[in-house]
Amino acid sequence: MSLAATRLVGVGGLAYFPSFVSPTALLLLAIMLTLSVRRVDLAALDTPLLVLGLAQGATIAAPLAPVDAALGGALSRTLERRDFRGARDEVLHLAGGTKGPVRVLLVGLGKGGDRGAALRRAASLAARRAHGMGVGTMTWYAGPATPSELEHVAIGLGLGPWEYTDLKTPPPAEERRAPLTAATIHVDDMAGAEQALASAAAIGAGYDVARRLAMMPGNVCTPDHMADVARDIARRHGLEVTVMGRRELESLRMGSFLSVAQGTPQDPRMIVLEYKGAPPAVKPIALVGKGLCFDSGGISIKPAAGMEFMKFDMCGGAGVLGAMEAIARLKLPINVVGVVGATTNMPSGNALKPGDVVQAASGKYIEIINTDAEGRLVLADLLDYVKRYQPSAIVDAATLTGACVVALGHIATGVFGNDQALVAEVLAAGERAAERGWQMPVWDDYRDSIKSDVADIKNTGGRSAGAITAAKFLQDFVDTTPWVHLDIAGTAYSESDLVAIPKGPTGVPVGMFVEFARGRVR
C-alpha cells in the first residue's frame, strides 16, 4: 500500500513561467512516499531511523525492550532521568548501536486529549525531521493503534516532509540529502490496516492538491490554472466538470462576482465539479470555495507589507478541489457538487469603487463600502447558483476576514450557520479531521450593521464583529437551505513555521470537507 507524499521534486532552469507544464505533469512530479504496515517485531529491526511516538510519562513497554537492549539501555535511562518527557512536539535524537536502528528519534505525543490528532501531529513532525536528516526511509511505532489512529499516522507522515520546490534550482549534488521515500508503520493489530492506509492515501492526495495550489505564486496559480486542475481531477476520476468565464457569468447575471473581476484582465472562472457516487435521486451536498488567486484589496488597497501572502486568498477554492480529489479516490456513496469562484482583485481604471452598487444574481442590490471585502461578493453569487442543485446542505469555505483571526487566532476555524444540526455535524467532522472549529453566532441583531441607505445590503459592517457580519451577508444568499460557512482566514495558511509543518498552506479545510462527506455515509 502506498501513499502519495506531499513533497515534490524541484524543477530548475525555467526561463519563462506562467504555464510551463500541465496540471497532470505537475501531479506526476510528486515523489511517492511508500507506506507499509507490519506487525510489531522491533527485535529484528534494521532501519536508518526508528521513530518512537511516546506519550507524557511513558515507560518501556515490552515491544520496546529489544530496542532498549540494542541501545545499551540508553532508552530506559533517558526516560528514567526524564531527559525526554513526552511533551507535545518534544523531540530527542539518540544514536544507535552496532546492531538494530542506526538512529532513534523520540517524539512526544503530549498528555491526554485527542490521541488521533496527537498521533497525526507527531507523525508529521517525525517525517519532517526524517526528511531533513536525509535518511531515505524510516520506521514508526507508537504502541497499539486503532484503524482510525493508523489513518491519522499515515496522513501525518505524508504531510510532514512536504515542500514546494518547483521554482527552486536544486542544490549541488554534494549538498543534497536523500529525500524521505518510504516509511513503515509497526502496529500490534493488522485488522483494518490496509483500509486505513488506502483512506489515508486518498486524503493525503487531497491535501497535496490544495497545498500545492495554495503555495504557487499568483502568476502561476491563475483562475485558468485552477480550472485546468479541476478538469484534470474530472478526467482522472470520471467527474463532470463545467468551467464558466466572463461571458457565461454575464449571462447568469452574476454582477456581484463580476464586480470583483472587473479590475483585472484575467478572465474569472466559475468551476463546477460534480461527483456522483449515489443514485440521482439522492440530494447532493455542496462544497463552495472562494478562489481569489491574488487579493490586492482593489481600490481599497491593502498595506504593502505582507501583501505577498494574499496569494493564499484562494485556499477555500483549493480546499474544494482537494476535497473533490479525496472524495473521488475514496469512492464515497454520496453525491457532491464542488463550486469554486476564481479571480483576482486588482486596482485599475475599471476596478470596483467604494460607493458603487452592484446587483447579484439573486436580484439583491449590494452597496460597496470596501472593495477589500470582495470574497463575500464572489461567494454571494456562488451560493445562489448552487441552490439549483437542491443540495441537502451547503458548506462554504473562505479566507474571508481578518476579524476571524483576531477572534480565534490560528488555532480554530470560525464556524457559522443557519442550521444547528448541520453546524454540529461540521464541527464533529473537524474534530475527526484534526481541523478544529469554533461556532460563532449569526444572530439577527448583527444584520443591522450591514443595512444600506441606497441598496438592499452593504458588503461590510465595519470593524466590530467583522467575521459575524460577513457571515450574515452570506446568509442572505442561501435562503432556507441548511448552510455552514467556514472562515479559514487564520487556519488555511501560516506566515511562520508551525513545527510539525513548515510555514505556508496547511491544507485546511480539506480534512473537514472530507470528514463531513464521510460522516454522511457512515
Give the CB-side neighbour count of residue 378, counting CA atoms within 13 A. 36
Mean pLDDT across 78-90: 96
Mean pLDDT across 356-374: 98
pLDDT tens, 330-347?
A: 999 999 999 999 999 999
Distance of alpha carbon 160 from alpha carbon 123, whole angstroms? 7
Residue 41's pLDDT band, with cuts at 50, 70 and 90, is confident
Most confident of 3-12, 17-26, 165-174: 165-174
pLDDT value at residue 5: 32
Which of 115, 212, 269, 376 is catalytic? The answer is: 376
Torsion from C-alpha of 415, 420, 421, 427, nearest 10 degrees: 20
Percent of the chain scoring above 70 in pLDDT: 94
pLDDT value at residue 7: 28
Mean pLDDT across 35-53: 91
CA end-to-end span of the chain: 23
Using CB atoms within 10 Å of the CB of residue 471, give its burial: 0 to 12 exposed, 13 to 18 middle, 19+ buried.
Answer: buried
Q: What is the CA radius of gyration of the chain?
A: 24
Angle at 197 between CA 196 and CA 203, to 5 degrees: 90
Q: For the chain, what is the mean pLDDT?
A: 92
Distance of alpha carbon 515 from alpha carbon 323, whole angstroms? 9
Which of 302, 364, 387, 447 is catalytic? The answer is: 302
CATH placement of domain 223-279+286-521: 3.40.630.10
pLDDT value at residue 361: 98
Catalytic residue list contains 39: no
pLDDT value at 22 more than 60: no
Distance of alpha carbon 144 from alpha carbon 267, whole angstroms? 53
pLDDT value at residue 43: 84
β partners of residue 52: 106, 141
pLDDT value at residue 32: 64
pLDDT tens, 385-425?
A: 999 999 999 999 999 999 999 999 999 999 999 999 999 99
β partners of residue 135: 178
Q: Which residue has the cell 461578493?
A: 377
Residue 522's pLDDT band, with cuts at 50, 70 and 90, is confident
What DSSP assignment string belongs to 57-86? T----GGGHHHHHHTTTHHHHHHHTTS---
Distance of alpha carbon 106 from alpha carbon 336, whole angstroms? 41
Cell numbers linked to 382: 456562488
**Is residue 377 within 8 Å of 356, Cβ to Cβ?**
no
Catalytic residue list contains 302: yes
Torsion from C-alpha of 407, 413, 417, 421, nearest 10 degrees: -120
The H or E element spanning position 486 is strand 483-487
Mean pLDDT across 475-495: 97
Angle at 295 between CA 293 and CA 296, to 5 degrees: 140
pLDDT value at 67 more than 70: yes
pLDDT value at 29 more than 80: no
pLDDT value at residue 33: 85
**Is residue 6 within 8 Å of 322, Cβ to Cβ?**
no
pLDDT value at residue 221: 98
**Is residue 488 within 8 Å of 511, Cβ to Cβ?**
no
Domain spans in the chain, listed from the N-terminal domain onward? 3-201, 223-279+286-521
pLDDT value at residue 99: 84
Domain 3-201: homologous superfamily in CATH: Leucine Aminopeptidase, subunit E, domain 1 (3.40.220.10)
Distance of alpha carbon 381 from alpha carbon 507, whole angstroms? 25
Residue 315's alpha-carbon distances to 405, 443, 486, 487, in angstroms, are: 15, 27, 12, 11
pLDDT value at residue 16: 32
Specify the higher pLDDT residue, 68 or 11: 68
pLDDT value at residue 123: 98
pLDDT value at residue 439: 98
Residue 91's alpha-carbon distances to 34, 64, 88, 186, 307, in angstroms, are: 24, 18, 9, 19, 34
Name the phi and psi angles at 456, rounded to 5. Answer: -75, -30
pLDDT tens, 204-222?
A: 999 999 999 999 999 999 9
Distance of alpha carbon 505 from alpha carbon 515, whole angstroms? 19
Residues 6+ apart with CB under 8 A from 350: 262, 263
pLDDT value at residue 62: 86
pLDDT value at 372 more than 70: yes
Residue 498's alpha-carbon distances to 87, 160, 205, 409, 495, in angstroms, are: 16, 11, 21, 13, 9
Distance of alpha carbon 477 from alpha carbon 475, whole angstroms? 5
Specify the higher pLDDT residue, 291 or 176: 291
How are beta strands 393-398 and 365-367 bridged, if at all? unpaired
Same fold, 3-201 and 223-279+286-521: no
Angle at 247 between CA 242 and CA 249, to 5 degrees: 60
pLDDT value at 17 more than 60: no
Closest by Cα among 418, 428, 437, 420 to 489: 437
pLDDT tens, 436-458?
A: 999 999 999 999 999 999 999 99
